[in-house]
Amino acid sequence: MNYIIGMDVGTTATKGVLYDENGSQIFEMCIPYPLIQDEIGQAEEDPEVIFDAVQQIIYKLSQKANGKILAISWSSQMHSLIGLDENKKLLTNSITWADNRAEETVAKAKATGLAQIIYLHTGIPIHPMAPVYKLLWLKENNHQLYKKAKYWIGIKDYLIYRLTGEIWEDIPMAAGSGMLNLKTLTWDKEILAQLDLDTEQLPKLTNPTQIISWINDEYRQKLNLNSNTVIVLGASDGYLSTIGVAVLNKNNFALNVGTSGAVRTLVNKPVIDKKTRFFCYPANNNSYLIGGPVNNGGIIFEWARKTIFNADETAEDFLNIAQTVPAGSGGLIFHPYLGGERAPIWNADAKGSFVGLTRNHTKPQIARSVIEGIVFNLLGASHAITENIGKPQTIRVTGGFVKSNFVRQMLANVFNLPVTALKNNQSGTLAAMFLARLALGMNHELNEIGNFVKEDKVYFPNDKDVKIYQELIPIYHEVEKEISHSYQKIAAFQTRHPDLFTN
């Protein structure tokens, strides 16, 4: 028996899953790592720490497989940026999607019209998460470093480079940089001119099933790999978590909610929103990933559990408390924008709020309103998509936040659509494994991935709760719009008084 390793390089941890040659999951391993947040807006990671985690995982999984690894294939967080010098040595940490320090750069680009050009050319939303804005920010604020950097790559590119000495980037991952032209699927020369960069400073572009057969002899021995083990380039977590739940066209939406979250689907031609409310990333020349990413998913649930409630209470306790009160939480509305927000409002200054709070509200209603606020926000992220391509038939869900029957049923009621939960929660590594099968000739068509995706249960909307939510959700959005005018002032106040955050 031979095996494939699916790697998922996330924002807070890397997971590795060992699959046998039939596509069955055998073993998994996860290693977490910290975000570096030494200043306001910063969200970086140490690439060496992540590479160490990757090595540990590959070694452990290879041991489980007695070294019989056919391929290592990759899923990875999007929008990371790493600078290398002329010798391909690290000049920077990995600046992640969560880093907001390019916020003023984005505002300037909007004012000059450059941001709109970038969106129309590349499909990247106007937000500091995008590497194109991080580069503009570095060019303006750290010009010495910017000029010293010979290469700019992402975290997956770096990890594969360390193992193979090759710097390649797949089209779905490159699409998340804000520098890939939607039509030509090449680096956009007009945007690169704005950055004073040339194509030689960026990775070579190819497809996700690209095989890199050369692995450095040191790492073959160190990680217990055989002479036939290959690297399959893989793709972005956004694309893979979508096809990994067998969402291959606009008839279904994929909803993944872990620490953050996203609503995604695939269409057969580019779709650009006039209000720039969602992304459009090419997977190839006839498949485009569109969707809305949210910052505030399970991370908000954990904040509420630890901060508002007793830290000793488990996630299950929190969910059980929330279920004891009816839908609507007695009119208590929670906006979950504790980390700024991408879709649906695209405002890095956004702040969280409870609205409608009275003396009659109790702990269970507060708990339920937090969960409802997260789900309402996910619904909002889907609105612009459905306006442009229509409503889906079903939503297919994965992620730690949607493991409970309670949350799954709430999603069905809020979206007013059937919600399908899946038995395999590792959609990213499953899709990475499937890309390796395609690369190795074990499968031949993308739609064959459905043979490896196992459905668990379908949740249908409850008419009573649907009616409550359809009355409350417009109020949620009305308040969201009204309070948004104060976000920048609050952010400015917090910047002027950082000492007020100390205990």
pLDDT in tens, 382-400: 999 999 999 999 999 998 9
Name the band, by pLDDT with cuts 50, 70 and 90, for residue 258.
confident
The stretch 396-415 carries a mean pLDDT of 96
Rounded-to-integer distance, Cα 191 and Cα 174, Å: 14
Name the band, by pLDDT with cuts 50, 70 and 90, for residue 502.
low
Any residues with CB less than 8 A from the CB of 348 and at least 6 apart, and which?
100, 103, 106, 127, 128, 340, 341
Q: Which domains does the chain show, CATH number per domain?
A: 3-239 (3.30.420.40), 246-489 (3.30.420.40)
Tell me the backbone φ, ψ of residue 268, rounded to 5 degrees. Answer: -100, 5
Model pLDDT, residue 503:
59
Q: 3-state DSSP call for residue 470?
A: helix
Model pLDDT, residue 52:
98
pLDDT digits (tens, 9 = 90+) for 343-378: 999 998 999 999 999 999 999 999 999 999 999 999
pLDDT digits (tens, 9 = 90+) for 227-254: 999 999 999 999 999 999 999 999 999 9
Q: Has residue 462 got a pLDDT over 90?
A: yes
37 vs 495: which has the higher pLDDT: 37
Position of tokens 């720039």?
276
H/E element, 492: helix 487-496
The stretch 109-116 carries a mean pLDDT of 97
Model pLDDT, residue 495:
83
Q: Has residue 308 got a pLDDT over 80?
A: yes
Model pLDDT, residue 312:
84
Name the band, by pLDDT with cuts 50, 70 and 90, for residue 498.
confident
- Rounded to the nearest integer, the mean pLDDT of the chain is 96
Under a CB-based contact definition with an 8 Å cutoff, are residues 341 and 295 in contact?
yes
Q: Are strands 204-206 and 168-170 parallel, antiparallel or unpaired?
A: parallel
Using left for φ > 0, alpha for ψ between -120 and 50, and beta otherwise, residue 181 falls in: beta
DSSP conformation letters of 140-209: HH-HHHHHH--EEE-HHHHHHHHHHS--EEEHHHHHTTT-B-TTT-SB-HHHHHHHT--GGGSPEEE-TT
Rounded-to-integer distance, Cα 223 and Cα 202, Å: 28
Model pLDDT, residue 425:
80
Model pLDDT, residue 57:
98
Name the band, by pLDDT with cuts 50, 70 and 90, for residue 311.
confident
DSSP conformation letters of 84-121: E-TTS-B-S-EE-TT--TTHHHHHHHHHHTHHHHHHHH
Model pLDDT, residue 348:
87
Least confident interval from 52-66, 280-294, 299-313: 299-313
pLDDT digits (tens, 9 = 90+) for 161-186: 999 999 999 999 999 999 999 999 99
Q: 3-state DSSP call for residue 122?
A: helix
Model pLDDT, residue 122:
98
Under a CB-based contact definition with an 8 Å cutoff, are residues 411 and 395 in contact?
yes
> Which DSSP letter does residue 423 get?
S
78 vs 285: which has the higher pLDDT: 78
- Residue 283 CB neighbours (<10 A): 24
The stretch 61-81 carries a mean pLDDT of 97
Q: Has residue 275 got a pLDDT over 70?
A: yes
